[in-house]
Chains A and B, each alone.
Chain A
Amino acid sequence: MSHVDEGALHAYLDGALDEYPVAEARRIRAHLECCGPCIGRLEEERSVRERASAVLSAADAPVVMPPLEELRRLARSGDSSAPVRARRRSRLGWAASVVLAVGAGWLLRSALPLTGGDGGSAAGVVASRSESSPTGGGGSAARHAREPVPVDATGASSRLAAAAVPSERTAAPATEGGVDEAGAVSREASDLVDSSGRPSGPLPAEASSRLARVAPADKGDTDAEALPPRELFAGGAPAPATPAPAPGDSVILADAGAGLPLGPPSGLAPGAPAGSAEPMAAGVAQAEASGAAGPATGPLRPDAGPGADERSRQEAGRAALELRTSAAPPRTGLGSVGIDAARGSGEPDSDRRASDPGSLVVPGLDVVSIVWREEGVIPAGVRVLQRLDAERLLELIHLPERVDPASLERAGPGVTELVVPRENGWLVLRAPIDEAALADLLRRLEAAP
């Protein structure tokens, strides 16, 4: 008869054997009645258990319970922060998860075999504007990402290129009304360089040098233009400079119209001309922006061959992640968010979801759009639309902990909603299907590799 392991001994001491399978619990109890060595070990473990409990009890805090009615009132008022004197919680852990998850997702795409793009996903990377939310107590209702505005491939690439240069500090004006260029990536870059294209703040030399390779160092202080995408990515002819992004923008990381299957992805076809580099991953763009993947003659040259293409994209994606986790925290913006959180926690598995791209989408469903939600420069979630069938969509809203799911607009009639607490925030699933089917989709998402 095998002896009882220490886990079972502790379960016995904790009175938790009832939660074990009946037969196993019976075996353990029977064994402990007749096995001398195990009884000895049981006493030893009992001592350990008591010592640990004593240690924990030595640092208890006095508990003062506020009236439940007061909490109910706060719940009705929609202000969960009221009893909390200062909302000092970090927003960074969640942001790091999103940053890394999106980057890792693109890495994953790059690792898959490329299919012939032929413009089929012309809006591979699209920028749109998130309307600035009205200030005041009801501001949370305006946190939703706005509808994507598809732009042409060149524009999309240009916008990614714009991400490589200072945005708010450049002379390039933000567009008014319509589409302007954005968002997270550009602001990250802008936070790392000053108006002259030089790194600002306490940047490590590594990050500084990367930025310097894409910043318009030879331009005047207020005349920084975007490095055109073809020059940036493929060494081709420059494309027109694009305006600087404005705060509140979102970056859509998927085909906004046709539905972009996650795998195998549409993308830069091997040997495709530089101009067809529409579905460029943000991570790749960011890596290019960082210069880590090489200068203009670098990795995404169409004539470098398909193998080199793939490798380059993977390297670039990795470099994007590397930059986010190796640079010192800049003053503000997404860059600081991602970097700070990734480095700051010091907890080995605290960001484990961050490297789990599968947790953003339900595998096997076409992705219609992925929109980075923002409030100013603060990330406020990721909204993913996936196609269930020809008529129905699944909406996934990944929210950081600080954003209360109750602040979202209510789901429409006939739409089922699930709100799931996750490690670093919330996941809201909405679809015009029954709850069981939605729960099944949640299980598929959770089980994603």
Chain B
Amino acid sequence: MATDWSDVYRSTFPDLVRFLHHKVWDGERARDLAQEAFVRALRHQPKQPRAWLFQVAANLARDEARMVLRRKRHLTLLKAETDAHDPGPSDPGVELDERARWHRVQEALEALSERDRDVLLLWDAGQSYTDIAEQTGLAVGAVGTTLARARRRLADAYREKEEADVARR
């Protein structure tokens, strides 16, 4: 049966951007990479487009992350993204808070192992346990365990960063 790409696009693109954004921390780049993944999918016509798209997106994000890491552009990206996120006039205090929150989320995610982070972000982007298992090589039963660990670590790491920020003020 032919793939209904309009449907796939509507249902997957936002999830893909969300997934990519939590990996590359640059909204613009996340959208670009999602587009690139879709263009490739349209060209290759994979039988399981959603899983395929996330696999390609993960590859793209991994490369992107390495590049970003190498150039040590974290803070620059964060600033650019925050600016892009809310281009209109805003309360500087609110903007500052938001920027700090994004930074905390990023750092909290970085506290996870790569596999835990991948599984968590795939779930967060709407992938099923079965899809996640196929993509990561885990057993379906292990996805829940991985998610449990990842969620707990993320929540704990975020809380620690939040407390540290409060103590610093």
A residues apposed to B, CB below 8 Å: 5-11, 14, 16, 19-20, 24, 45, 48-49, 51-53, 55-56, 58-66, 68, 71-72, 74-75, 78, 80-85, 88-94, 340-341, 344-350, 401-402, 404-406, 419, 421-425
Q: Is the CB of B69 within 8 A of A345?
A: yes
| Contact residue among A85, A345, A404 (Cβ-Cβ distance under 8 Å from B32) | A85
Q: In residues 21-71 of chain B, which contact A (Cβ within 8 Å)?
A: 21-22, 27-33, 35-36, 38-40, 42-44, 52, 55-56, 59-60, 62-67, 69-70
Q: Mark B107-123, 1 if CB is under 8 A from A, else 0.
A: 01000011100001101
Say yes or no: A58 contacts B145, CB within 8 Å: no
Say whether B64 contacts A68, CB under 8 Å: no
For A19, the closest partner residue in chain B by CB is: B129
Q: Which of A93, A405, A421 has the most CB of B within 10 A?
A: A421
27 A-B pairs within 8 Å (CB atoms) are namely A6-B144, A7-B144, A7-B147, A9-B148, A11-B144, A14-B144, A45-B148, A48-B155, A52-B151, A52-B155, A53-B124, A55-B105, A55-B158, A56-B22, A56-B124, A61-B85, A62-B85, A65-B9, A66-B35, A82-B39, A83-B35, A85-B32, A90-B63, A93-B63, A345-B66, A349-B115, A422-B59
B6 and A401 contact, CB distance less than 8 A: no
* Minimum Cβ distance to chain A for residue B137 (Å): 10
User: Within the complex, which residue of A51, A90, A350 is in contact with B70, where a contact is CB–CB below 8 Å?
Assistant: A90
B35/A344 in contact, CB under 8 A: no
Inter-chain contacts of B159 with A (CB < 8 A): 51
Residues of the A chain whose Cβ atoms lie less than 8 Å from the Cβ of B39: 71, 74-75, 80, 82-83
- A89: contacting residue among B14, B64, B150, B155, CB under 8 A: B64
B96 within 8 A of A: no
Q: How far is the CB of B126 from chain A (nearest CB, A)?
A: 11
Residue in chain A with minimal CB distance to B52 = A421
Taking residues whose C-beta sits less than 8 angstroms from the other chain, chain B's interface range is: 35 or more
| B56 to A, closest residue via Cβ | A421
CA distance A59 to B110 in the complex (A): 14
> CB < 8 Å: which of B6, B13, B21, B154 contacts A55?
B154
Q: List, in ascending order, chain A residues with CB within 8 A of B66's CB.
A: 90, 92-93, 341, 344-345, 347, 350
- Complex alpha-carbon distance, A340 and B123, angstroms: 31
